[in-house]
Amino acid sequence: MMTSAEIRKQFLDFFASKKHQIVASAPIVVKNDPTLLFTNAGMNQFKDYFLGNKKPESTRVADTQKCLRVSGKHNDLEEVGVDTYHHTMFEMLGNWSFGDYFKKEAIAWSWELLTEVYKLDKDRLYVTIFEGDAKENLPKDEEAYNEWKKYIAEDRILSGNKKDNFWEMGDTGPCGPCTEIHVDCRTDEERRATDGKTLVNNDHPQVIEIWNNVFMQFNRLKDGSLQPLPAQHVDTGMGFERLVRVIQGKQSNYDTDVFTGTIKVTEEITGKKYGYSDSRQDIAFRVLADHIRAISFTIADGQLPSNTGAGYVIRRILRRAVRYYYSYLDYKQPLLFQLLPVIAEQFADVFPELQQQVAFVSKVIREEEEAFLRTLEKGLKRIDDLVTAAGKSEEKQIGGKAAFELFDTFGFPIDLTRLIASENALEVDEPGFEAEMQQQKNRSRAATAVDTEDWVVLKEHGMSEFVGYDTLEINSKVTRYRKVKAKGKELVQLVLEATPFYAESGGQTGDTGILSFDGELVEVIDTRKENNLTIHLAEKLPVNITAVVNAAVNREKRHTITSHHSATHLLHAALRKVIGTHVAQKGSLVNAEHLRFDFSHFAKVTEEEIAQVEAIVNEKIRANIPVHIKEMNKDEAVQMGAMALFGEKYGDIVRVVIMDPAYSVELCGGTHVGFTGELGLFKIKHESAVAAGVRRIEAVCGTIAATWVNEQLGQLNQVRELLKHPKELIKATEVLVTENSDLRKKIESLEAKQLVAIKQELLKQVETVNGSNFIGAQVEVSNADGLKKLCFELKNELDNYLVVLTANIEGKAHVAVLIDEQLAAAKSLEAPKIIKEHIAGLIKGGGGGQKTLATAGGQDASNLGQVTERVKALL
Ligand code: ATP
Ligand code: MG
């Protein structure tokens, strides 16, 4: 039987033989595209080619692309594991034509590959074509129909509607009619009983779509209309895991060698057996085998789990997996991280980035699992309480708010809450839950909603060339602009033919500056990249948008940013020297205020290491090393020792920044100083942890560093002054600290003695009221704790008692009420109730505590006498 690795290779070899260039998968985490968090189809990385914003190196390309479908337009998460053919992360095999071949070749080659190379049974195949759509004014795809007719019987060419046969990446963007290939994997007997044709596109688990050929012809605009693209393209996507299952003759994707390794390890770890069924236990096996891939590949591509955006999506996938093994495999410790070695090994040749970072990814997953398992246990306690309360109530129902809290805070999906509820003969208020959910969605939508209008294009194919490495001011023209509205604020985005403005990327923030149109000044408040366009953000449009524009970057700010960027390179190299070559960049931020550098390292960076790192960087600054920037072949750069970042996409030609070839060589698109001496001074301000296995250093250089150092020295001088200019500052401070703690100890022991004296005094004042012992007194104590301590002392000396002690501490009222358990029961009195009903009002405050001992505090200390009387009256 052909292995999955062989099947993948044959796909790529086949299209290479048809003159396609084989390219690498883009990272799974998307940067520079506000419409997507994750790659959801092979075509994402080529979007600009379809839109004409960029020219491809080759007009025929093929690859296998890591895709994730858990958010946005394509979201399969809830199906995963429940069915056997939708995954969170999957590989999409694809071939592309950028304005080269079209329907005829695409159809011929997909048929050839499936039937001649993979030798699929022709009478198990069906194809679908677009039937047209009157509303959109789109005709039936006759061309595709006529091409298919050459290979397949006409009764196997089915027509499909817009939902199935018109592919769109998102709400806007490239789109077009598509033709899909479906395979009927049922047994011969089943096939005789029901015609396969009737099961296509009907969610039958054995009659599944494997390949979609999209013919990109349109761009969907914001108003919903379709605009023809400058050229016609082919974009195909075949689900690798589904293809393998069909070729290997399996009933489920999980029975192929893509997943069986992981399932086997899960069996070994949990001691449970995978039974191929729809039981919750078997679903759990599938969920784990699937989710571990999505989690580990996104982390390897640089996305850590977090509370927002893409990081939150990863966190949710991970929690779904944890919840499944916890509940259905009865495994209560971190499990996912144990599956990592199998996955890393399996993909070492195709996606080596995982194997290369296996220790790091494993650490991140494990800590995330541990944290969530703790939350999960708290959640289970919470649900226990809810179940008990609901059991006693009349509705016998867990409320919508509570169910939502379980979901939102503890990660309990509604089906788990429902299950636990039904095990206890309870119901869940699901409409209430849905309403809460909707409210939250609306809240987050309102917070992040960006309303983007279509581009107004003044000049087609404006490539927006960046000239800002060498120049900070040029004359240019606007090629396109549009309005955007975010958080209620209207802004305009402008694209120029050429620009000196650096668009935020690689951690370096975007430039600010001025665009001057015929003397009218428009301020650029930020510069960002969207795919390959450099977008200038401004608050208004100029009157004369077609005029020549003078674009000038804020020079001073740019220089500070640039210095911080160069300092980041010096820092990175110094870290690798001092703490080891395992240090890999995990994120960076470079702006005019500081630089922030995140890197993989499992321990706190010690004071000495920080000092060493700082010293090396400053030494390199004083050496005034010339900074060389070269474009070269990627392999050449790697040979020079340049490190590529994980999750970053590089072309064949890369830009390399060299600060002494023996010290720092980095692939980098940012701006840099000419000589390291320009940085002047480098200071590390903080070192901290950001996530499991990731440390963060914040540092400054140049005048910012000088200012910061002066501030620190200023504070030191103030301290010196406060201590009256001692000869040895540190010694003097130590003496002060020691003295202070000695004094505190002395005071504590004196207070303890005093309390004993007060207690003796109070015991003399015991009154008998209606047969019970009562003490009511105002006492002198220095803090509220004193009252409590007195109560504890009195408790041991009395029985059948009610005690109320008050104190005026710096003008505030403090009260403690102590009552013996039997007396409390007999008189149905409880200490917190006494406070609430009889004391809180008198002292203008409140408090609480245990049944037998409660304390309160308040603003008004003038009625403490009355407090004692009131409590006494209760007897
Ligand atoms: P389906 O209707 O089965 O969800 P789709 O119409 O969403 O598929 P496309 O967007 O056309 O699929 O993607 C192209 C191919 O990618 C599909 O033919 C299928 O083989 C594969 N595919 C799509 N979604 C998934 C998924 N969640 N897991 C695995 N493979 C998938
Ligand atoms: Mg789908």
- Digit-coded pLDDT (tens) for 465-518: 899 998 999 999 999 999 998 777 899 999 999 999 999 998 999 999 999 999
**Per-residue pLDDT at 678:** 97
Q: Kindly report the number of other CB atoms within 10 A of residue 789's CB atom.
A: 18
Delineate the domains of the chain, giving CATH numbers in brackets.
Answer: 4-258 (3.30.930.10), 451-553 (2.40.30.130), 559-718 (3.30.980.10), 748-872 (3.10.310.40)
Q: In a 3-state reduction of DSSP, which class is residue 829? A: coil
pLDDT-wise least confident of 201-210, 259-268, 460-469:
460-469
Find the 209 Cα to ligand 2 centroid distance in Å: 10
β-strand partners of 476: 549
Closest ligand, as measured to the CA of 235: 1
Residue 829 has pLDDT above 70, yes or no: yes
Distance of CA 431 to the CA centre of its chain: 29
**Per-residue pLDDT at 247:** 97
Token pair belonging to 747: 């005071």
pLDDT of 563-609, one tens digit each? 999 999 999 999 999 999 889 899 899 999 999 999 999 899 999 99
Residue 647 has pLDDT above 70, yes or no: yes
Q: Kindly report the number of other CB atoms within 10 A of residue 330's CB atom.
A: 12
Residue of 75, 90, 175, 204 with the most ligand 1 atoms within 8 Å of its CB, for mutation: 90
Residue 673 has pLDDT above 90, yes or no: yes
Token pair belonging to 795: 């408790």
Find the 32 Cα to ligand 1 centroid distance in Å: 24
Residue 88 has pLDDT above 90, yes or no: yes
- The residue type at 72: G
Question: Which residues sit with their C-beta closer than 6 Å to ligand 1?
Answer: 69, 76, 86-87, 90, 92, 209-212, 237-239, 241-242
From the CA of 237, give the closest atom in ligand 1. 14
Q: Are 302 and 587 in contact (CB under 8 A)?
A: yes
Write the CB contacts of 191 (distance below 8 Å, at least 6 apart in sequence): 184
Write the CB contacts of 198 (distance below 8 Å, at least 6 apart in sequence): none
Residue 83 has pLDDT above 80, yes or no: yes
Residue 449 has pLDDT above 80, yes or no: no
The torsion defined by the Cα of 486, 492, 498 and 499, in degrees rounded to 10, comes to: -70
The torsion defined by the Cα of 51, 57, 63 and 69, in degrees rounded to 10, comes to: -30
- The residue type at 430: E
**Per-residue pLDDT at 396:** 87
Distance CA 93, CA 519 (A): 53
Q: Kindly report the number of other CB atoms within 10 A of residue 200's CB atom.
A: 22
* 265-275: average pLDDT: 97
Closest ligand, as measured to the CA of 242: 1
- Closest CA relative to residue 693, chosen from 599, 809, 780: 599
Closest ligand, as measured to the CA of 80: 1
pLDDT-wise least confident of 110-114, 166-170, 746-750, 826-830:
166-170
Residue of 4, 86, 96, 127 with the most ligand 1 atoms within 8 Å of its CB, for mutation: 86
Query: Going by CA atoms, what residue is nearest to atom 13 of ligand 1?
Result: 237
Q: What pTM was computed for the model?
A: 0.77
Write the CB contacts of 663 (distance below 8 Å, at least 6 apart in sequence): 573, 620, 625
Residue 450 has pLDDT above 80, yes or no: no
Is 814 labelled a binding residue? no
- The residue type at 7: I
Residue with tokens 């072309």: 651
β-strand partners of 97: 60, 234
**Per-residue pLDDT at 3:** 96
Q: Where are the beta strands (DSSP E) in 221-348?
A: 226-239
β-strand partners of 769: 772
pLDDT of 96-148, one tens digit each? 999 999 999 999 999 999 999 999 999 999 999 999 999 988 999 999 999 99
Find the 539 Cα to ligand 2 centroid distance in Å: 40
Query: Going by CA atoms, what residue is nearest to atom 14 of ligand 1?
Result: 237
Q: Kindly report the number of other CB atoms within 10 A of residue 28's CB atom.
A: 26
β-strand partners of 633: 653
Q: Are 663 and 691 in contact (CB under 8 A)?
A: no
Task: Establish how many alpha carbons lie within 13 A of residue 482's alpha carbon, considering only the half-sphere containing its beta carbon.
Answer: 14
Residue 462 has pLDDT above 70, yes or no: no
- Rg, Å, the chain Cα set: 35
